[in-house]
A and B are shown apart, each in its own frame.
Chain A
Amino acid sequence: MIRPRSAVAALALLAGGVSLAAAASAPPSPDAMLFAAIAAPSTVSYTGVIEVVRFGSRAAEASIYRIEHRAPDLTCRYYSAPSALSGDSVISRGDLSFSVDARRHRTVETRNTALDDRIAINDDYALLRANYQVVRKGDETFDGRSAVAIVLINKYNHRPAMLVRIDRATKIVLDKQEFSRNGSLLGEVRFQSVRYTDAIPAADFALPKQYRLVQGPTFGEPPQSPDSVVRSAGFRARAPRALPEGFAPVDGTLVELNGVHTVHLLYSDGIRTVSLFENASASTLDMTGLQIERTQVGGRTAQYAEDGAMALLAWSDATLHYALVGELRMGELRAIAEAMQKP
């Protein structure tokens, strides 16, 4: 699901202004459509069925769920596939999520404070516009709705990175496709049977009372600038001296992972993201269940693995343990890792 989030409410006001201004004249520009699409879920309520698929280099993940979204920030997803998730649901209320696990008879509550990080949201959009050319591909009919197809082209390799089909009237993204550098499909989120309605009962977002509520983790707290996270790490954390073209540090946080004090830095080019984790504690990485591939970083042995579409590269030097996580391929992750080792 493309996240409807409360934090984009501020953007929605601006987007509304852009849309109205555009509507008064000719068809809205691709830029205006794109901006309005990011903010639309905070003002538009809808129901429908969503199909999601993500491709890794070896495996793919897919799911189908029914979605009910009541603006600005109530969303419920009822899973019908895969069968392991059948009967499960995820209910989101702002930055709170409740994962209703029917098989284990429990509801896991998690919080993601990053969703409220307006600075990061604005920075990310600025990055997207800086690194990608927004091109109108044409008008289409999708799922019975009049839609505008927009392509985001990477300014460095001049290849399409994303195609979005935006409902012309509501600005909701009906279809999103991501592509790798060689043009292959990385993933797709596709709407079916979309219906716009404000008549979604509050009961649809209620938690099931028969399941026990389990307190899960809080993510992204407190969100800080990457520089301040590095400075306050408590150890000599390092940042890569080179990043893939267009990437920049956008967010950071200090987290405790099984008691291990860890720096988490996020880099993005506006669409693609990669996280760098560092710790100075004596720790080992548990990659149970993953197919591990050995490689080299700075002359040291490193471990590479993929979890669905997500790739992970982990290595250590004399003082720190590192892990890079993102939807980048091994070559790109290794290039970042090598840049960490240079003095």
Chain B
Amino acid sequence: MHAHLAECTPCAREYEAETSLTELLRAHARTQERDLPYRVIAGIRGAAAGRARVPAWQRVRSALRPIVLVPVAAALAVALYFEVGSRHSTGATPVDAAAYVNNHAALTATTPFSEDAPIPAMLTSDDQTP
């Protein structure tokens, strides 16, 4: 195209005119350019920041990535193992002290001049502890 414009005067003029018009428009545009109002800029920046915040579900999903999930699951399994193990080793069947007192009181009924407790256990306990 440039070789033809060098040998064709009418085309070279036409091209020159088009180029001048383009430069004229650019120059005009430059003289009309104005800064955006501050609130518009702040709004645009705020909107841009909001769009950048990661949604909760996305964070959960990222937490479940294997690279995170596998070590956490392993640590949890180890903790559970030792917790259950410790329960087995200490034994944890609770025996209410009131059960001892109630059974003692019942068996002493044959003692001469024995008496019931001033406060009957069955009227004060929330359950029927044997």
Q: Verify B114–A3 contact, CB threshold 8 A.
A: yes
Instruction: Scan residues 90-110 of chain B and give those whose CB is less than 8 A from a CB of chain A.
Output: 90-110
Query: CA–CA, A52 to B90, complex, Å?
Result: 42
Q: Verify A271–B117 contact, CB threshold 8 A.
A: no
Tell me, yes or no, whether A112 is within 8 Å of chain B by CB. Answer: yes
Q: Verify B107–A251 contact, CB threshold 8 A.
A: yes
Q: Verify B119–A273 contact, CB threshold 8 A.
A: no
Query: CA–CA, A282 to B86, complex, Å?
Result: 13
Tell me, yes or no, whether A130 is within 8 Å of chain B by CB. Answer: no
Instruction: Scan residues 1-38 of chain A and give those whose CB is less than 8 A from a CB of chain B.
Output: 1-3, 5, 7, 37-38
Instruction: Scan residues 182-232 of chain A and give those whose CB is less than 8 A from a CB of chain B.
Output: 187, 189, 214-220, 223
Pick from A235-243, A256-264, A330-338 the stretch touching chain B.
A256-264
Q: Verify A219–B120 contact, CB threshold 8 A.
A: no
Candidates B90, B111, B124, B128; contact of A282 at CB < 8 Å: B90
Candidates B91, B101, B113, B129; contact of A164 at CB < 8 Å: B113
Given contacts A101-B122, A284-B93, contact A255 B112 (CB under 8 A): no
Instruction: Give the chain A neighbours of B93 by CB distance below 8 A.
Output: 258-260, 281-284
Candidates B91, B101, B110, B117; contact of A61 at CB < 8 Å: B117
Q: Interface residues, chain A, CB within 8 Å of chain B?
A: 1-3, 5, 7, 37-38, 52-54, 61-63, 79, 82, 84-85, 88, 90, 97, 99, 101, 108, 110, 112, 114-115, 117, 120-121, 124-125, 128, 162, 164, 173, 176, 187, 189, 214-220, 223, 250-251, 253, 255-260, 262, 264, 266, 268, 270-271, 273, 275, 277, 279, 281-287, 290, 305, 307-308, 310, 312, 314, 323, 325-326
Can you list 24 contacts pairing A with B, beta carbon distance less than 8 Å?
A2-B114, A38-B113, A53-B118, A99-B120, A99-B122, A110-B128, A112-B109, A114-B106, A120-B110, A176-B115, A217-B102, A219-B106, A253-B103, A270-B112, A273-B114, A275-B107, A281-B91, A282-B93, A283-B95, A284-B91, A284-B94, A305-B97, A325-B100, A325-B101
Q: Interface residues, chain B, CB within 8 Å of chain A?
A: 90-120, 122-124, 128-130
